[in-house]
Amino acid sequence: MNQDEFFMSKAIELALQGRGRTSPNPLSASIVVNDSNIVGSGFYSNNNDNHSEYYAIQAAGENTKGATLYTVVEPCFNNLKDYQCSNIIKESGIKRVVIAIENPNPNFKGKGVNFLFENKIELKVGVLKKEAEKINETFIKYYSTKLPFINIVYSMTFDGKTSTSIGDREWILSNESKNKLHELRLTYDAVMVGVNTIIRYNPQLNCKLVGGRNPIKIILDSYARTPTNSKIFIKNNSENIKSNVIIVVNNYASEEKINELIAAGAEVIRCSDEDSHRIDLKKLLNILSKKEITSILSEGGGNLHFSEINEKIADKVSIFLTPKIVGGKDAPTPVEGEGISLMSSAIEIKNVSYTSLGNDLFIEGYF
């Protein structure tokens, strides 16, 4: 690893501190290096008024003269001169800028690079590009397609069951896996489940990490069957605080039930398939995109997962595999629906990775 890669890896590591707090903008961080020493750093978060370049340059002070700035995402450039990071870099006396990736937002992509080049600041673009794209995969998908990135996530035993036949799954995951699941909930804008998951398990779907941000909860519920006393309507079990809940129904759902859900604190969206009573997932994603929901963690159940895969709207799958066996032909499995008839037609998962979490195995791959 050369010096540019070393300092960029530090910037990427710092950018992760903004997880769950940058949407609809990408994860980014900046480091100012002078004489091989880090003299200033900063990361982007929606909690802050400025971008990471501003904070890194402010922290470096006079040490910016002749220094190198490492930044994960291309510095912004717009018509508001006092607020554009590219102009702040120019005025700071920084001599060289190293960038991992261009801004995934087409409204800004390439503009910061062009401004710096025109002002004779030495540039290097593409250092640790794959690593920067990895942490920003949801944003890159969102800005390139205007659709949310969907990660299907589920927990299953060695025999492929998500719970026992009577619906018990309380101890399916190790503590390490539970922490990882809550990290995912922190990272994604929204969690999506089918109404049967709510009725059968009554999950809260919150992020339980200290200081964690709770995701938006999206429930696919054609006939508005979600119980109004479900845990999804409460941010904290000890507090009666309404949460961010979106219930998606079809055009035949009862107005009375819809009004009850609205009174419980939900936003209700009608989104029917024209030829059936089923929810139109592709139409729904366009609606959610307009709400700047850039990423969705789909936590089931099996019919929803099959629909997402079958309709080719899923981007990624994350699996918690636990070394337990429960058996039972009626115990639910993670992907159900109509299924695929021939093994030769099975969906292949690409770029698979494996990580140990306690006694569990965490597996990720892409469609």
Is residue 80 domain-shared with residue 178, that is, in the same domain?
A: no
Lowest mean pLDDT among 37-46, 64-73, 233-242: 233-242
Q: Check which CATH number belongs to the domain holding 21 and give it.
A: 3.40.140.10
| Domain interval for residue 311 | 146-366
Residue 226: CA atoms inside 13 Å, Cβ hemisphere, count? 36
What is the C-alpha separation between 28 and 344, in angstroms, rounded?
42
**Does 141 fall in a domain?**
no
The answer on pLDDT for 47 being more than 90 is: no
Is residue 132 domain-shared with residue 155, that is, in the same domain?
A: no
Report the amino acid identity of residue 245. V
pTM above 0.85, yes or no: yes
Is residue 227 domain-shared with residue 159, that is, in the same domain?
A: yes
More confident residue, 240 or 51: 51
Cis peptide before 160 (omega within 30 of 0): no
Is residue 131 domain-shared with residue 202, that is, in the same domain?
A: no
Is residue 172 domain-shared with residue 48, that is, in the same domain?
A: no
How many other C-beta atoms can be found within 10 angstroms of the C-beta atom of residue 77? 20
DSSP state letters, 139-188 = HHHHHHHSS-EEEEEEEEETTS-SS-TTS--TTSS-HHHHHHHHHHHHHS
Tell me, yes or no, if 260 is annotated catalytic: no
The answer on pLDDT for 241 being more than 70 is: no
Mean pLDDT confidence for 51-64? 96
- Final residue of a structural domain among 136, 166, 200: 136
Return the ∠ at Cα 193 (arms to 191 and 194), rounded to 5°.
160
Nearest CA to 139 out of 8, 296, 295 is that of 295
Cis peptide before 24 (omega within 30 of 0): yes
Tokens of 325: 């066996």
% of the chain at pLDDT higher than 90: 86
Q: Long-range CB contacts (< 8 A, 24+ apart) of 245-248?
A: 245/216, 245/217, 245/219, 246/190, 246/216, 246/217, 246/218, 246/219, 247/219, 247/221, 248/218, 248/219, 248/220, 248/221, 248/279, 248/284
Largest Cα span, the chain? 69
What is the C-alpha separation between 294 and 261, in angstroms, rounded?
25
Q: What is the pLDDT of residue 199?
A: 95
Nearest CA to 45 out of 62, 23, 67 is that of 23
Q: What is the pLDDT of residue 83?
A: 58
Is residue 82 domain-shared with residue 231, that is, in the same domain?
A: no
Is residue 313 domain-shared with residue 177, that is, in the same domain?
A: yes
The answer on pLDDT for 239 being more than 50 is: no
Write down the catalytic residue from 5, 53, 131, 255.
Answer: 53
Mean pLDDT value across the chain: 93
Q: How far is CA 316 from the centre of its chain?
A: 11
pLDDT class of 170 with cuts at 50, 70, 90: confident
pLDDT class of 238 with cuts at 50, 70, 90: very low
pLDDT class of 242 with cuts at 50, 70, 90: low
What is the distance in angstroms between the CA of the first residue and the CA of the last residue of the chain? 31
Q: What is the pLDDT of residue 49?
A: 76
